[in-house]
Amino acid sequence: MDLLNTLVEKGLRRETPSREEALAVLATSDDELLDVVAAAGKVRRAWFGRRVKLNYLVNLKSGLCPEDCSYCSQRLGSKSGILKYTWLKPEQAAAAAGAGVAGGAKRVCLVASGRGPTDRDVDRVSQTIAAIKEEHQDVEICACLGLLSDGQAERLKGAGANAYNHNLNTSEATYGDITTTHTYADRVSTVQQAQAAGMSACSGLIAGMGESDEDLVDVVFSLRELDPDSVPVNFLIPIEGTPLAGDWNLTPQRCLRILAMVRFVCPDVEVRLAGGREIHLRTLQPLALNLANSIFLGDYLTTEGQSGKDDLAMIADAGFEVEGTDTTTLPAHRADAAAAAGAGCGGHGGEGGGCGPCGDAAPVDAAPVDAVPADAVPAQAAAGATVSAPAGTRESHAGLVAVRRRGAGTDLPPNA
């Protein structure tokens, strides 16, 4: 296809495709899908080889959020049966992070629900960063705490945070349909504050919320203009108890086309395969590694993911290799620019998997940690198995979603 040849050439030159070309990728047929994956894979390999960066989420504070993000199980009024707990102690967070590092994670993503951190919260996170880095000096730390106030980005940078995540999630035109308690502009401002403070910026999207092809292209072009080092691509996890629980709009083929479009628009950026990959890509997950160069290891914030050992097996079986701590993630031109701006090693990305707190901070110590006894967890989940069901009906789809009952906030070991 002339379109794909053109997009490959532009990607190798770091040239932005036209909106029409991006839309054409999303409009390709299933018969053309492998050609699309192969073309985008050429761009991915040119900038990132066959390396896959592993990232690990630690949910520092779960639930208790008064914002109204429609996709979020931690939102105001959520009926989801997720874990709810206030801030983990630094040593608890460090233990959770250590499990991810032991599983091969190069980056630890520290996430807390809330509109944005108080100054006391920044102190808490700073202490947590210090506790993690004391045990794992080389690990990258990304903070994801919501909207930042003046001076907070600089404080996090000074505490050792290498990166900051705040997702745009959807297009500016449709943002008000998803969230009403803060604005799209608020999110853009926070990403810019992180960049100004010298942290590596990460910002991405959530696909599958009923958006049009034009909306998807709009948000990805906005991300290209914002120029984060990392773009996590999340696929909506329709969790029961949220307004979007019935929104099963994605197919594996659609997900691959979205990832390919993101790769063509952001050719030299760390594209992360984030939340929802297991339930939407299903058996086509390995194909997505030809498009994304980064994934989350194990579980997400409030839902369970594929077992860590299965993630590693998938990477190896697909002919890829886990990126080591001695390798810089970003291509030299981006890494050098990041270093010049004070962002450190140039390997900094960000978070997905629903990472991107969406509400105001709950009162300090508002709720105890919900420690879940082992006998309350289904044996399948406790063993790290992925809950599966045949696709076809809303009920069978819903069976693919398993609420997290292990790891941070519980007495059970994490999945890493």
Nearest alpha-carbon partner for 142 in 73, 210, 202 = 202
> Is residue 185 in some structural domain?
yes
pLDDT in tens, 174-185: 999 989 999 999
CA 279 to chain centroid: 15
- According to the model, what pLDDT value does residue 119 have? 96
Maximum alpha-carbon separation in the chain: 59
pLDDT in tens, 235-288: 999 988 888 888 999 999 999 999 999 999 999 999 999 999 999 999 999 999
pLDDT in tens, 107-159: 999 999 889 999 999 999 999 999 999 999 999 999 999 999 999 999 999 99
**From 44, 65, 124, 334, active-site residue:** 65
* Cβ atoms of 110 and 144 closer than 8 Å: yes
**From 202, 255, 266, 355, active-site residue:** 202
272 catalytic? Reply is yes
Under the banding of pLDDT at 50, 70 and 90, the label for residue 383 is very low
CATH code of residue 135? 3.20.20.70
Length, in residues, of the chain = 416
pLDDT in tens, 330-360: 999 998 887 777 764 444 333 334 444 443 3
> Is residue 192 in some structural domain?
yes
65 catalytic? Reply is yes
Task: Pick out the residues of the known binding site for [2Fe-2S] cluster.
Answer: 109, 142, 202, 272
Under the banding of pLDDT at 50, 70 and 90, the label for residue 70 is confident
> Is residue 19 in some structural domain?
no
Tell whether the model's pLDDT for residue 415 goes beyond 90. no
Indicate the number of domains in the chain. 1
Task: Pick out the residues of the known binding site.
Answer: 65, 69, 72, 109, 142, 202, 272
109 catalytic? Reply is yes
Tell whether the model's pLDDT for residue 371 goes beyond 50. no
pLDDT in tens, 218-228: 999 999 999 99
Q: Which residues contact 226 (CB under 8 A, 6 or more apart)?
A: 168, 188, 191, 192, 201, 203
> Is residue 290 in some structural domain?
yes
255 catalytic? Reply is no
State percent of the chain over pLDDT 90: 69
- According to the model, what pLDDT value does residue 382 have? 35
Task: Pick out the residues of the known binding site for [4Fe-4S] cluster.
Answer: 65, 69, 72
When the pLDDT of each residue in the chain is averaged and rounded to a whole number, the result is 87
**From 44, 72, 144, 263, active-site residue:** 72
**From 115, 187, 263, 272, active-site residue:** 272
> Is residue 62 in some structural domain?
yes
- According to the model, what pLDDT value does residue 398 have? 64
**From 44, 75, 107, 109, active-site residue:** 109
pLDDT in tens, 288-304: 999 999 999 998 888 88
> Is residue 23 in some structural domain?
no
> Is residue 189 in some structural domain?
yes
> Is residue 184 in some structural domain?
yes
- According to the model, what pLDDT value does residue 56 have? 96
Domain residue limits at 183: 46-340
144 catalytic? Reply is no
**From 107, 142, 355, 406, active-site residue:** 142
